[in-house]
Amino acid sequence: MDLNGKTALVTGAASGIGAACARRYAEAGAQVICTDVADDAGQQVADEIGGQYRPLDVADSSAWSALAAEMAKDPGHLDLVHLNAGIMMGLGSIAEMSDDDYLRIVGINQHGVVFGLRAAVPLLEAAGGGHVLVTGSMASFSPLPVDLGYSMSKHAIAALVRSAAPNLAEQGISLNAVCPATVGTGFLGGNRDRLEAAGMVIMDSEEVAEAAMAILDSGLTGECFALLKGRAPEPFPFASIPGSDYRSRR
């Protein structure tokens, strides 16, 4: 996709998938607004790509409102929003999950996408339409017993994408999710070599960024694209409900 003259906003842009996507969008010609809570690293990425940096706690709805109000002063200049920010907590026992643990992972991984989408839609409408991409995970489709809060929140994101997309399409806005398998980000805690030696297949963040570009070029909406190392992103084939003629709107 040619992003020359376009403006893209990326959350969680200070590192990992967010930083790789910010760089890739800038390479395609976009003016990128990088957001994060890691101010120094986020500013560094923005400086590297000639973009802008805005501090943003995605779990704070008032912070989203303030950013949207700032951007609305210059209407018609937002074309792509990548809601990427997320965390893992590594909690596998529901009995050991505290209120703070639960609220933190749902706040960032789930509320952050809801608040971001809610803030972005009027800005994209003002620009005549645009694109929203959400970073999901293979945990959007399958259980992850070692981090049940992460899987729960990523399942919710898949449902949101599939449910919100039809109405947004009428406004000229596409909404999709990129759902990679294991990526070599800070989530691995410096254990990439050990995990690969044990046989785990790990992709680089740059591969996710290339997949993001392919998804934006696909012309599709309401899809959750599964991404495996070395393969093109593919819409995940959600099953129909057994025993009925109902078919889910994807």
Could you give the percent of the chain with pLDDT greater than 90? Answer: 81
Q: How far apart are CA 155 and CA 12, in angstroms?
A: 19
Would you say 222 and 195 are in contact if contact means Cβ atoms under 8 Å apart? Answer: no
User: Which tens digit of pLDDT belongs to each residue from 196-228?
Assistant: 566 666 788 899 999 999 999 999 999 999 999
Least confident of 46-50, 215-219, 243-247: 243-247
Q: Is residue 182 predicted with pLDDT exceeding 90?
A: no
Inform me whether the pLDDT recorded for 195 exceeds 80: no
The more confidently predicted of residues 239 and 3 is: 3
233 pLDDT higher than 60: yes
**Residue 166 Cα distances to 49, 83, 173, 175, 234, angstroms:** 34, 18, 9, 9, 19
Q: Write the CB contacts of 35 (distance below 8 Å, at least 6 apart in sequence).
A: 9, 10, 11, 12, 13, 42, 53, 54, 55, 56, 58, 67, 85
Q: Is 8 helix (H, G, I), strand (E, B) or coil?
A: strand
First to last CA, the chain: 23
Task: Clarify whether 102 is annotated catalytic.
Answer: no
| CB proximity list for 36: less than 8 A, separation 6 or greater | 11, 12, 13, 14, 15, 18, 42, 53, 55, 56, 85
Q: How far apart are CA 234 and CA 130, in angstroms?
A: 21
Which residue among 25, 53, 102, 150 is the active-site one? 150
Residue 70's CB is within 10 A of a number of other CB atoms, namely 10
